[in-house]
A and B are shown apart, each in its own frame.
Chain A
């Protein structure tokens, strides 16, 4: 590389770096980072507001990821999955993201990349314990199921729960998880 070209490029890089300072002050970046850092998805040395209750627009978070900090895009699907009330995910408008979130929810082995981030990388953040202990990993989130059971089975479940000193849900879980697979099949 000749010297003039190199010096020109370095000057252009420095000019871009000045514009980057402005991007890091953008509301979209600060709100997205403030939320993701508060919840424990990201760590940073930057001074960002602590915003654990922030509601985020997907559009803003994606902008921040594409234009300032690509690591936002790496954790965004997991954040949307685990904290859906904080996001305005629309399955039509945000089709790609919604698809990945669904694959994470179902704990698929393989899935779609998101903004160039491989699915295997996205999946890690769905299962990691976070700073905010109230935020459950996808492997810990309870799922509602409705069953019609024989009255005798209900009575038995109630007695087992009482004997063990736990609620019926816990009694049922321990019976299922403790049972041998061949018996269930």
Chain B
């Protein structure tokens, strides 16, 4: 497992324990039960966490975590605390990230209280290529040159991206 994968497992395990504690507290106080939290990883972290992709592409990440969250506010607060301790910060603009058509989400982690999915690598690359080509120029070049993402070029072009941006 990659270092990023191990870090994420640590985060998910800790968050699961926190949610379990919250759920227990709510039950004890007769409050509404806590809904299962869902996280959909996007962006660079989704690529780093993928062992196969991590072998093919040279990836670098700042400390932000891009993810779509569907969870109780109390759980989100716990997540932010856990992330901060690991030198990470949740990117509140994650909802602005464009998810290309045909994107799939693959299960990364599931416990009683937490489900984490990760966007498929090719869709993460399409999103970067179309919406932030300058920032991801070398990454997309490497991805195209690898021949490991069979429909990457087609999807970039179908969604308004330009191959000229990567020269």
- A92 to nearest B CB, angstroms? 29
Which residues does chain A contribute within 8 Å of B134, judged by CB atoms? 70, 116
Are A69 and B89 within 8 A (Cβ)? no
Are B84 and A129 within 8 A (Cβ)? yes
Are A9 and B48 within 8 A (Cβ)? no
Q: Is B103 an interface residue (CB 8 A)?
A: no
Size of the B side of the interface (Cβ < 8 Å), in residues, is 31
Interface string of A71-93 (1 = CB under 8 A from B): 10011000000000000000000
- A90 to nearest B CB, angstroms? 25
Knowing A1-B157, A45-B58, the reply to whether A20 touches B87 (Cβ < 8 A) is no
Complex Cα spacing A116 to B167, Å: 20
Interface string of B136-166 (1 = CB under 8 A from A): 0010011011000000010001000001101
Are B167 and A44 within 8 A (Cβ)? no
Are A128 and B144 within 8 A (Cβ)? no
Instruction: Mark the stretch among B29-37, B60-68, B109-117, B119-127 that contacts chain A.
Output: B60-68
The tally of CB-CB contacts under 8 A between chains A and B is: 91
Q: Is A27 an interface residue (CB 8 A)?
A: no
Instruction: Mark the stretch among A35-43, A106-114, A173-181 that contacts chain B.
Output: A35-43
Q: Is B59 an interface residue (CB 8 A)?
A: yes
Are B138 and A20 within 8 A (Cβ)? yes
Could you tell me which B residues sit within 8 Å of A by CB distance? 2-4, 48, 54, 57-64, 84-85, 87-89, 134-135, 138, 141-142, 144-145, 153, 157, 163-164, 166-167
Smallest CB-CB A-B distances: 9 pairs: A17-B145, A9-B163, A17-B141, A14-B145, A44-B60, A43-B61, A45-B54, A70-B135, A45-B59
Could you tell me which A residues sit within 8 Å of B by CB distance? 1, 6, 9-10, 12-14, 16-18, 20, 23-24, 33, 40-46, 68-71, 74-75, 116, 124-125, 128-131
If A17-B144, A40-B87 are given as contacts, then 17 extra A-B residue pairs at C-beta distance below 8 Å, sorted by A number, are A1-B157, A9-B164, A17-B142, A41-B63, A42-B62, A43-B61, A45-B48, A45-B57, A45-B59, A69-B60, A69-B138, A70-B135, A124-B89, A125-B62, A129-B87, A130-B87, A131-B87
